[in-house]
Amino acid sequence: MVLMIIKLGLNQGFQLLVVAVGEVLLLNSLLSTLSTSALFMENVKYLPGIKLGKNVIADPDLDNAVKGANMLVFVTPHQFIDNICKSLVGKVRSDAEAISLIKGMEVKIEGPCLISTYISEQLGINCSVLMGANLASEIAEEKFSEATVGYGNNREIAEQWVQLFTTPYFMVTPVQDVEGVELCGTLKNVVAIAAGFVDGLDMGNNTKAAIIRFGLREMREFCKLLFSSVKDDSFFESCGVADVITTCFGGRNRKVAEAFAKNGGKRSFYELEAEMLQGQKLQGVPTAREVYEVLRHRGLLELFPLFATVHEICSGCLPPSAIVIYSEKKPRLPV
Ligand SMILES: NC(=O)c1ccc[n+]([C@@H]2O[C@H](COP(=O)([O-])OP(=O)(O)OC[C@H]3O[C@@H](n4cnc5c(N)ncnc54)[C@H](O)[C@@H]3O)[C@@H](O)[C@H]2O)c1
Ligand SMILES: O=P(O)(O)OC[C@H](O)CO
């Protein structure tokens, strides 16, 4: 999924949902994965056999897809949001509401920027977030899942998003903490990479549980470092501990990091991603680099040994086995 534009009039209900892609060059390759010949739309590449529903329309023309839309859902690997937003400037309704499902962040010279903030600033519209323990394949099979909507000041808008996304098998909870919810979704991908290293080195469940705990602790500290407003309770929502668990056991970041460690770091993430994910993108590796940049810039790398080590392993400066050695060599965060 790249970008969903939901055209929804107040009280009209869930009438028309358009899936569009962000870059002309990619249109053919991406849309070729969506079979329109079937009675209902199907993503034959990533979700074969799953009917997307009669109200899903694939539109290769992004400008046309956003025209008149009052609710915009952004779901793309965060590497591409820059170009997508730039192409949408001046084309969306000024009263449109956006929501981002994107787990990642932008790091600029002036500092880190949440994707929801970026969308909001580029397009001049409000942007909420939806994050959670949401492996796409399981949701597609209608297995029970939860998610968290992070919103700013407008509870009414949050309730609209909750209503829009909720199904009998998908339970959505609103939380007034955009930054906390979004950063949880972003940072859990770094923890997933660490969990994959542990799996690839057959270090066992206790080690993996320890890595998850260290990871959650660093997630909380990093969130509070960037935004003092982040609420502790957000870490107990689906966007927090639940997403860390699901991604450390069933996600793509874990899977590719496991292969990286099994190969002793000799095959690059880039190569493994291309081979294993069929065009899908890993968020954990770029996010680890972005987090590292933020910490380095602020002179705080020593306080975040897990995050720092993940990036140093991904970039080839340390071997995968360093994922557990780091804790003996470097000072730990306060518990
Ligand atoms: N897949 C999941 O289970 C899941 C669950 C929750 C949240 N997310 C988050 O949602 C976001 C999107 O994840 P996804 O799994 O849908 O993405 P994905 O990795 O499946 O990639 C989606 C598509 O983006 C395409 N793409 C490549 N280059 C592009 C470009 N230049 N411009 C636009 N698109 C391009 C890829 O070809 C791919 O088809 C990520 O931030 C992810 O963390 C994913
Ligand atoms: O497959 P991953 O590792 O990108 O994780 C997917 C989702 O973010 C899990 O909630």
The model's confidence at residue 25, banded by pLDDT at 50, 70 and 90, is very low
Length of the chain: 335
CA gap 307, 295 in Å, rounded: 9
The DSSP call for residue 167 is: B
Of 7, 188, 255, 262, the active-site residue reads: 188
Q: What rounded mean pLDDT belongs to the chain?
A: 88
Instruction: Look up the CATH number of the domain holding residue 251.
Output: 1.10.1040.10
Of all ligands present, the nearest one to the C-alpha of 250 is 2
Report if residue 334 sits inside a domain: no
Q: Does the beta carbon of 238 sit less than 6 angstroms from any atom of ligand 2?
A: no
For 147-168, what is the mean pLDDT? 97
**Dist. CA 175–CA 152, nearest whole Å:** 9
Q: Of the candidates 176, 200, 228, which is a domain's last residue?
A: 176
Of the candidates 146, 176, 206, which is a domain's last residue?
Answer: 176
Assess whether 131 and 215 both reside in one domain. Answer: no
101 lines ligand 1 (CB under 6 A): yes
C-beta of 281 in contact with ligand 1 (< 6 A): yes
- Whether residues 76 and 54 share a domain: the answer is yes
Residue where one domain finishes, among candidates 152, 176, 200? 176
Looking at per-residue pLDDT, the higher value among 19 and 264 belongs to 264
Per-residue confidence (pLDDT) for residue 60, from 0 to 100: 84
- What is the spatial distance between Cα 239 and Cα 314, in angstroms, rounded to a whole number? 25
Over the range 74-102, which residues count as b (16 or more CB within 10 Å of their CB) and which as e? bbbebebbeebbeebeeebeeebbbbbbb
188 a catalytic residue? yes
Q: In this structure, are residues 214 and 270 in contact, taking their beta carbons and an 8 Å threshold?
A: no
Same domain, 242 and 324: yes
Looking at the structure of the chain, the number of domains it has is 2
Q: For residues 270 and 281, is the Cβ–Cβ distance under 8 A?
A: no
Note whether 18 and 163 are same-domain residues. Answer: yes
Which of the two residues, 328 and 88, has the higher pLDDT score?
Answer: 88
CA angle 291-282-212, nearest 5°? 60
Structural domain of residue 311, as residue ranges?
180-329
Residue 56: strand pairing partners: 17
**pLDDT digits 0-9 by tens, 160-204:** 999 999 999 999 999 999 999 999 999 999 999 999 999 999 999
CATH of the domain at 17: 3.40.50.720
